[in-house]
Structures are given as structure tokens and as C-alpha cells.
A and B are shown apart, each in its own frame.
Chain A
Amino acid sequence: MSWWVIALMLLVNFILQSTVFQYIAIMDIMPDFALVIVVAVSILIGNRRGAVVGATAGIIQDIVYGKPVGITALSYMLAGYIVGEYSGRVFKERLVVPVFFTAGATLLKYFISIFFNYVLGVPTGIPVYIRHYIPVELIYNCAVSALLYRALYLVLNRSTTLPRVRAKKRR
């Protein structure tokens, strides 16, 4: 059940983000709802499953819109893993937790994106990233995270009990 909930959420988000959400951009920038979801999910279900969710969400976006394929998958996977890794040491109910992790994940995403652009020889306007894309998306993502986390927490916390038990049995 929980995997289905997460998968459905990511799929619906992906479809909305490449269509309807294009028109809610502020200063030409959309919030990265997928990243916000990956972070929230990873806080609740831990590092390994967080990494799987991140990689899956990223690879779908990459396959349909990416050139090359994999950069988003790598950044979402690492974000999911790192957030999941540290989620055990924080109070998951506190709103500051997802906002903080979302900020970190957004920075990580841009770092990886700029790194690969540089390696692959795409001319990167780093000042524009620093002046425009990163600060605006950072604020936007954190705001979305603060607004959505409680709802995601309720949905996921209820639906994540199942695989957690299963995972323990498997071990």
C-alpha cells in the first residue's frame, strides 16, 4: 500500500509539474515538488527506501525530459539517502526538520547539476545560478515543504507502517 501511495503521488506530481505547474512559476521558477516529496518520504521511511524513492522519481523525470539521463536521478537518490540517514536523529514532527533538509537537498541538486554541466562541457552561467535559480528555488521549495509536510506526514506515516514491518521480517 505505502509503495503505491508514494508511487502514485510521484506520478501525479510529475504529470502536474510538467503541465499545470508550469504556469505557477514565480520569477520563471517552479518549486521542485518531487524533491520536496522525496525529502519528506525519506524523513519518514529512512535512508535505503529514501534512496530508492529518490532514484525512481529522478529517473522518470530524466527519461522523459533529461539530456543526459541520470542527473536528476543521482541528485534525488543522494538527497533521499542522506536525508534518510540523518532522519533518525531528529524530531520528525518538527516543521523545521523538512524545511532544513529540503534546503540542503535543493543545494545538493544544484551542485550536482552544475558539476555535470561543467564536466559535460555545457556552458554554465554560475553567477546566474547563484543570483537567480538557487535562491529563488531554495525559498520556494522550503515554503512548499513547510506547507505540505504536515499533509505528507499524515498520509505517509499512516501508510508506511506496512513495509517497515515487512522489512524487519526480511532481515
Chain B
Amino acid sequence: MVRFYKNRSIIMVAVAAIIIIVIIALTSMDRGQVSGLESIVGIIIRPATQALTRVVDSIRSSIAGLAEIGSLKNTNQMLNQQLIALRAQVREIEALRQENQRLREMLDFKNTHPEFDLIGCSIAGKSPDNTSGIFIINKGIENGVLKNMPVVTSRGLVGRVIETANGWAKVLPLNDQRSSVSILVNRTRDTGILKGDISFELTGSISPEAAIVEGDDVVTSGMGGVYPKGLYVGKITGISTGESQLLKTIRVEPAVDFDKLEEVFVLRHVEELPFEGETID
């Protein structure tokens, strides 16, 4: 009896494992929309994570100097109460100023690029998995967010939507190891491929004849059909030629700070920019 019981639990776990592997196989295929059940889970989870993210974001700016405070402990002993209060005030103003500037930039972006239909979103939560960069946003199908729509900030390209549901969507950032984008070096017009990697850095390969130098701006090339042409990605910070000499390897510093994303835009229409070579930055 004991043996049967034990065998039965092994069989149950094995069956469950097979079911999960089937789910992995099914969901690893390209699908734009999550299933109804998944959507419900997201709807339950998202408001809580979003509210918390918002609280954390708002206090984070004001406690950004926390590490600094630790190292300046000795100095701080000399500071009086008034100075501390003033500092707190200054930080609060600074946080507000930064938010103001960010929102203003976004508004500018929207005004100066009427060719894009933008959906403003905020980040509702980030993947707890250390090796995944996926985050969720607070807009979904009902706001017109669909699979493969590019996600940008006023600084540049962030990534693309990979799955959507009612009220939320998953975004795969550029620097995730599963992400890749076809690029164009703005000055020399050389094309290449840029990929994210496990360390969340952007590395790419480009033709060995390309006369690129460090500091060149990199934009999307429009090939591949996901990202429209001319979205700003970042600057080249390193160039190396591999042993085979077949391709140059480049390292790109993204214009977007992926660790500090708060508000993003989803581009509703994936269309080529009106003027070839024009960049958005």
C-alpha cells in the first residue's frame, strides 16, 4: 500500500511534468495573445504590482542617495536638523523636477512625431527571474496594444510587446537575451544585427568593411518588419574584429536606461518614417 502510494505520487509528478513540458512547447511558439486563464491571473496581479511599483518609483527618487548617506555618516554627524530637513526638501523638489522633465520630454516626443500613434503606458512590474528582462505594462488589447508593437521612450527604443491580454501586456526589452534588432549605423549607413545577452548588454555584428568608429549613433534599420526605420537605439562604445574576420563585433550603449524605466510608449502603427535616415533622439 505504501509502495503503491509512493509510486502513485511519482507518476502524478511525472504526468504533471509532461503536461508542463507540453505547455512550454505550446507557449514557446509565436503567439500574440495570452489565453483567457492567463489573462485573469494578470488582471488579478497587475493592480497590486502596479500600485506598489508606483509607490516604490515615487519614493525611490527621493531615497536615491541612501547609499551615499551610509558612506557620509561621519560627515552627517556634523550636520544639524535643519540641514537634513532642507535636504529632504531639495530631494523632493529634484524628484518632481525630474518627473516634470521626463513627462515634458514625452510630450515633446509626441508633439514632434505625429506620424506615430503613441499609447502612453507605465510599468506595472518586472520579472522576478534574474536572467529575464521581461516587464509588464498597464495597457492591453482594449487600448490597441498588439503583439510586436515597438515600445519606446523619448530617449529611444526599449523593446517590443510579445504578448497581450486585457489590461496588460508583456514587453521584451532589447537587452534581453531573447531579443534582437536589425540596425543601421546612422553616419555610415552600414546595417547589422544587434542582440541582447545574458548580461543585459547589447552586442551586435556588422560588416568588416564598415568604417564605423566609437560614438557612432545606431538606429533601427526597419528590416524584419517589427521596428520602424529610424528609431534611436544608442551609441557604439566598442568595436572588435573576431578571429575569423568575417564580421565586426560592436558593443552598443543603449540610450534607454533599462533599470530606470517608469513610463513608456507603445507605437501603434508600425510604419516607416517619412524621411529616410531621419532619427528620433
Q: Do chains A and B interact in one complex?
A: yes
Q: Which residues does A use to contact B, with CB under 8 Å?
A: 14-23, 25, 28-30, 32, 34, 47-48, 51, 55, 59-61, 63-74, 77-78, 81, 113, 116-117, 120, 122-125, 128-129, 132-133, 137, 171
Contact across chains for A72 and B129 when beta carbons are under 8 A apart? yes
B247 nearest CB across to chain A (Å): 15
Contact across chains for B56 and A171 when beta carbons are under 8 A apart? no
Contact across chains for B20 and A77 when beta carbons are under 8 A apart? yes
Alpha-carbon distance between A132 and B1 when the two chains are bound, in angstroms? 46
B131 on interface, CB distance cutoff 8 Å: yes
A19 cross-chain contacts in B, Cβ below 8 A:
49, 52-53, 56, 125-126
Contact across chains for A122 and B177 when beta carbons are under 8 A apart? yes
B272 nearest CB across to chain A (Å): 28
Contact across chains for B198 and A74 when beta carbons are under 8 A apart? no
Size category of the B interface is 35 or more
Q: Which residue of B lies closest to A110 (CB)?
A: B131
A131 nearest CB across to chain B (Å): 10
Contact across chains for B163 and A125 when beta carbons are under 8 A apart? no
B24 cross-chain contacts in A, Cβ below 8 A:
68-71, 74, 116
Contact across chains for A63 and B41 when beta carbons are under 8 A apart? yes
Contact across chains for A64 and B21 when beta carbons are under 8 A apart? no
Q: Which residues does B use to contact A, with CB under 8 Å?
A: 5, 9, 12-13, 16-17, 20-21, 23-28, 34, 37-38, 41-42, 45-46, 48-49, 52-53, 56, 60, 125-132, 134-136, 162-163, 170, 172, 177-178, 195, 197-200
Q: Which residue of B lies closest to A60 (CB)?
A: B41
Contact across chains for A77 and B17 when beta carbons are under 8 A apart? yes
A127 nearest CB across to chain B (Å): 9
Other A-B pairs, 5, CB within 8 Å; known A14-B128, A20-B56: A48-B13, A55-B16, A65-B129, A69-B38, A128-B199
Q: Which 3 A-B pairs have the closest CB atoms?
A: A68-B28, A125-B198, A65-B127
Alpha-carbon distance between A137 and B44 when the two chains are bound, in angstroms? 29
Our pick among B16, B26, B195 for the contact of A123 (Cβ within 8 Å) is B195
A107 nearest CB across to chain B (Å): 14
B15 nearest CB across to chain A (Å): 11
B46 nearest CB across to chain A (Å): 8
Our pick among A23, A78, A113 for the contact of B131 (Cβ within 8 Å) is A113
List 14 A–B pairs whose Cβ atoms lie within 8 Å, in order of A's numbering. A22-B126, A29-B130, A47-B13, A51-B13, A64-B46, A65-B129, A65-B136, A66-B127, A67-B162, A67-B170, A67-B178, A77-B20, A125-B177, A128-B199
Q: Which residue of A lies closest to B54 (CB)?
A: A19
Contact across chains for A32 and B199 when beta carbons are under 8 A apart? no
A20 cross-chain contacts in B, Cβ below 8 A:
52, 56
Our pick among B26, B126, B170, B178 for the contact of A18 (Cβ within 8 Å) is B126
Alpha-carbon distance between A35 and B162 when the two chains are bound, in angstroms? 26
Alpha-carbon distance between A59 and B74 when the two chains are bound, in angstroms? 48
Our pick among B17, B53, B56, B128 for the contact of A65 (Cβ within 8 Å) is B128
B60 cross-chain contacts in A, Cβ below 8 A:
23
Contact across chains for A15 and B20 when beta carbons are under 8 A apart? no
Contact across chains for B52 and A32 when beta carbons are under 8 A apart? no
Alpha-carbon distance between A61 and B129 when the two chains are bound, in angstroms? 9
Contacts A15-B45, A51-B13 given; does A63 touch B34 at CB 8 Å: yes
B198 cross-chain contacts in A, Cβ below 8 A:
124-125, 128-129, 133
Alpha-carbon distance between A21 and B125 when the two chains are bound, in angstroms? 11
Contacts A78-B13, A125-B199 given; does A70 touch B23 at CB 8 Å: yes
Contacts A19-B49, A78-B17 given; does A30 touch B134 at CB 8 Å: no
Contacts A48-B9, A55-B20, A122-B178 given; does A14 touch B134 at CB 8 Å: no
B199 cross-chain contacts in A, Cβ below 8 A:
125, 128, 132
Our pick among A21, A25, A65, A171 for the contact of B132 (Cβ within 8 Å) is A65
Contact across chains for A23 and B170 when beta carbons are under 8 A apart? no
Q: Which residue of A lies closest to B172 (CB)?
A: A67
Contact across chains for B5 and A171 when beta carbons are under 8 A apart? yes
Q: Which residue of A lies closest to B178 (CB)?
A: A122
A25 cross-chain contacts in B, Cβ below 8 A:
130
Our pick among A21, A51, A66 for the contact of B16 (Cβ within 8 Å) is A51
